[in-house]
Structure 1
Amino acid sequence: MPTTTEAYVARPSSLQLENVTYADPASTELLVDVVAASLCHSDVKAAQGTFHVARPLILGHEAAGYVKAVGSAVTYVKPGDAVVLAYAHCGRCRRCLGGRQPYCEGMFGLNFGGRRGGVDGEVVVRDAKGEGLGGLFFGQSSMSRVALVQENSCVKIEGCSREELVRFASLGCGIQTGAGAILNVAKPQAGSSIVVFGGGAVGLSAITAAKLTSPACLVLADNSQTKLDMIPKEILEGVHTINTAGQAPEDIAAALKKLTPTGLGMDYAIDGVGNEDVVLAAHLCLDKLGTMIIVGGSPTARLTPKIEGHLVGGLTTRGTHQGDSVSRIMIPHLIQLWRAGRFPFDKFLTTFKFEELQHALDETHVGRVIKPLLVL
């Protein structure tokens, strides 16, 4: 039977809880009773109409909950299982079969098409008037009390309490992206010099992961002193911070080089912002053979570093989607690190009631919250 519930629907003129009705799960889909959904910047951009998806749509792509019902071909989970939700992938293309699921050849349709199989597929959710809505955002559209989810968007979590599962809801996108940029992409040797641009959840996840690699120099750069001041001291232990407000990329790069043991520059620069000036500063601060990893995104930003410096310095520029994370490997690994006290991502979180999305957005906008978590 179709399932009626409440979900956050983004329309051109509004963002609010609405009654929606999901179709029955298809063979490779399932229903999840959501216990918590966290807010990622991609949700904000989607609500504003500046992401890859058309409105109206149901937001949400970082969540956790308990399996309610499964389609006929679902084998990975059963009703009652605890799951964390992440991006969708096909599991059949050469990228997926090669363990590179973030680069699935069907990535766009499965995550941003809003329908089963992509933009031309079947509508899976309708509003109270019976009109179709975009669903399956990142394979889930999970800012809902009950979510219709792709099977391969699920990461099964064994032996966790409901309280823990609420925390784990935040792991499905931004946190695994920041951590993955370090652990999966950079893979820095001990004694490396690393700078992370951007003090949001992605950047702080990169900082926290970088601390695990025994860097000689670790720096967090952000243009908001308010944001830098609210970061928990535990996260910034052993980390230099730089407020880049009003500084030119060349001056930022020069200041960063002075912090390194050699004075010659960084081995790794992680851009979690997606701003052209930030990318240029990240490029300019690198030592020879350094690597710039671009995590932040913007629909208009361009790469502006000069080719000559890139060539002569032997530099590497690398983009990463989801931090190259295979969610069913990365999320349990981050949970294991958290249980061992080595990856305290819960320090980024601020909880709100599920009905308080606008309040969470307001608090984030003014810089009082790093990672909002809506709890049901």
Structure 2
Amino acid sequence: MPTTTEAYVARQGSLKLEKVHYADLDANEVLVDITAASICHTDVKAAEGVFHMKPPMIIGHEAAGYVKEIGSAVSYVTPGDAVVLAFAWCGECRRCMSGKQPYCDEMRALNFGGSTRADGTVAVKGADGGGLNGQFFGQSSMSRVAMVRENCCVKVDGTREELRLFASLGCGIQTGAGAMLNVAKPAVGSSIAIFGGGAVGLSAMLAAKLTSPACLVLVDNSQTKLDMIPRELLEGVHAVNSSNKSSEDLAAELRALTPRGAGMDFAMDGVGHEAVLLAAHLCLDKLGTALIVGGSPTAKISAAIEGHLVKGLTTRGMHQGDSVPRVMLPRLIQLWKDGKFPFDKLLTMYKFEELHKALDEMHQGQVIKPVLVL
């Protein structure tokens, strides 16, 4: 049956809670009663019209809840299952078939395709009857009830309160953690620099701590943001304020922190700024790896080729930290339950109706990761 609910809809110059109408479920779609939806900077970019999917649209791509209804071809979940939502993937292309879902051949169509399904029908409409772009990252989950693609669902175990925490795991946190655990895989005693003290960078930092590094450094250009991080999370971490430092000077400072001043084995850019990218490359030791996680439509890599050749450097871009959600999210949850990955310390809870308060406090640097709770 068609479903009517409330969701946060971005239109030209506005973002507010509106009534929306979902069509009957397609064969591979699922309705999820949302218990919590986490806020990511990508939601803000999309709402402002500077991302792949444009307004009018329902935002939200980090959430969790309980399956309410399933399409006729859905087999992974059943009504009542607790799920965390992540990006959509097709499950049939050569990337998906080889366990590389973040690089699915249908990534753009499934995650940013808009309001029209493959058969030409409109999946979601606003109160005015006009079509809305939905299934942002396959889910558009900043809604009381979300219509999502089946492959977005990751079944989990946990109480309702735990599920509200797990809502934050589906994009930024798995990206940062995945950069360390799936891509870098640092040997014990490695030197690691992480640029960016937001949710992605701090998740990478928490994951890096699990690898017993010899030197772990968190870099950000805001002392306010660095001061906001819970002190217990920074145990064993050098926190460096990069404000008003050139890429060269910052890189020299970071190299000096490493054993013998040799430089970093891994430097992760979680910002996507050219000066940060350059500093990340310049601080590396021989055979070091620069990990590019921060997104930017215009930033370019400006590190000299000669340095790469002589030092044998690697530059590695990635999407979602190379995470396969149905493997990565249960792994992170178990690490959290074991007391080894305290991502919950990054979260601040708000009522579902308090989106704009959460956004204001996020922009003012008062919170790291806001979560809207239903």
Same fold (TM over 0.5): yes
Distance in 1 (CA, whole Å) between partners of 2:228 and 2:372 is 20
Distance in 1 (CA, whole Å) between partners of 2:370 and 2:361 is 9
Distance in 2 (CA, whole Å) between partners of 1:44 and 1:310 is 35
Deviation at 1:117, TM superposition (A): 5.2
| 2:339 maps to 1:344 | no
| 2:226 maps to 1:238 | no
Residue in structure 2 matched with residue 106 of structure 1 by the alignment: 106
* Residues 240, 103 of structure 1: alpha-carbon distance in 2 compared, 3 angstrom cutoff: same
Deviation string 1:170-229 (CA, Å, 9 cap, x unpaired) is: 000000000000000000000000000000000000000000000000000000000000
Q: 1:262 aligns with which of 260, 270, 281?
A: 260
Counting aligned pairs with the same residue, the percent is 71
Distance in 1 (CA, whole Å) between partners of 2:259 and 2:168 is 35
Deviation at 1:121, TM superposition (A): 4.7
Please give the residue correspondences for 1:1-376 in structure 2 after superposition, counting only pairs within 5 Å.
Answer: 1-115=1-115, 121-158=120-157, 160-376=158-374
Question: Tell me, which stretches of 5 or more residues in structure 1 are unaligned?
Answer: none
* Residues 251, 122 of structure 1: alpha-carbon distance in 2 compared, 3 angstrom cutoff: farther
Question: Tell me, which stretches of 5 or more residues in structure 2 are unaligned?
Answer: none
Tell me how large the CA RMSD over aligned residues is.
Answer: 0.9
Deviation string 1:289-322 (CA, Å, 9 cap, x unpaired) is: 0000000001111111111111111000000100
Deviation string 1:8-59 (CA, Å, 9 cap, x unpaired) is: 0011210000000011111111100000000011101101111111211100
Is the CA contact 1:110–1:116 (under 8 Å) kept in the aligned structure 2? no
Distance in 2 (CA, whole Å) between partners of 1:274 and 1:93 is 29
Is the CA contact 1:115–1:121 (under 8 Å) kept in the aligned structure 2? no
Deviation string 1:102-156 (CA, Å, 9 cap, x unpaired) is: 00000001001123557x9532100001100000100000000000000000000
- TM-score for both structures, normalised by structure 2: 0.99
Distance in 2 (CA, whole Å) between partners of 1:251 and 1:147 is 48
* Residues 121, 176 of structure 1: alpha-carbon distance in 2 compared, 3 angstrom cutoff: farther
Deviation string 1:234-271 (CA, Å, 9 cap, x unpaired) is: 21110001000111000000000000002011000000
Distance in 1 (CA, whole Å) between partners of 2:79 and 2:242 is 49
* Residues 117, 179 of structure 1: alpha-carbon distance in 2 compared, 3 angstrom cutoff: farther
Is the CA contact 1:266–1:287 (under 8 Å) kept in the aligned structure 2? yes
Task: Give 3-state SS (helix, strand or coil) of 1:368's partner.
Answer: coil
Distance in 1 (CA, whole Å) between partners of 2:167 and 2:154 is 11
- TM-score for both structures, normalised by structure 1: 0.98
Letter in 2 for 1:127: G
Task: Give 3-state SS (helix, strand or coil) of 1:133's partner.
Answer: coil
Distance in 2 (CA, whole Å) between partners of 1:162 and 1:19 is 25
